[in-house]
């Protein structure tokens, strides 16, 4: 319920333009993510990873995504694949084995780019 309210406010651009609303939203998402709410972990993880102000924030976002990445959350699994493929985020060094693991999870979950990448791997032999 709490995530649904925060998510509703988050998607109201006219509300989030106010800094105090934005700050309260981020605190709320962080609190829910820290309590293990998978929806909050995924959304807050993506926000930190892609909009974080420094490498520490981006690494924290990646850690939240790692907690939920799987077949049921193929978008997070695809992101983890990219993190381990590129190895540019602190704490997520390049690893072909881990990248492949997350690519398979994302493909099994139905992520279209992951399915395409798996098909290309098969066609290349």
- Walk along the chain (125 residues) and give the pLDDT tens digit of each residue: 799 999 999 999 888 899 999 999 999 999 999 999 999 999 999 999 999 999 999 999 999 999 999 999 999 999 999 999 999 999 999 999 999 999 999 999 999 999 999 999 888 86
pLDDT at 40: 97
Going from N- to C-terminal start, the domains of the chain cover 1-68, 69-125
The whole-angstrom separation of Cα 112 and Cα 18 is: 36
For residue 60, the Cα-to-chain-centroid distance in whole angstroms is 10
pTM recorded for the entire structure: 0.91
pLDDT at 15: 85
pLDDT at 1: 75
pLDDT at 5: 94
Which residues, at least 6 apart from 92, have a Cβ–Cβ distance to it below 8 Å? 59, 62, 83, 84
């Amino acid at each position: 319920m709490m995530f649904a309210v925060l998510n509703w406010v988050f998607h109201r651009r006219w509300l989030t333009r106010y800094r105090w609303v934005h700050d309260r939203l981020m605190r709320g998402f962080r609190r829910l993510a820290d309590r293990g709410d998978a929806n909050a972990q995924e959304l807050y993880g993506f926000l930190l990873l892609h909009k974080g102000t420094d490498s520490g924030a981006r690494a924290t976002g990646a850690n939240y995504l790692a907690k939920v990445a799987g077949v049921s959350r193929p978008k997070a699994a695809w992101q983890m694949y990219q993190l381990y493929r590129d190895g540019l985020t602190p704490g997520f060094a390049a690893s072909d084995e881990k990248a492949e693991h997350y690519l398979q999870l994302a493909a099994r979950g139905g992520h279209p780019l992951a399915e395409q990448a798996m098909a290309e791997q098969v066609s290349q032999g």
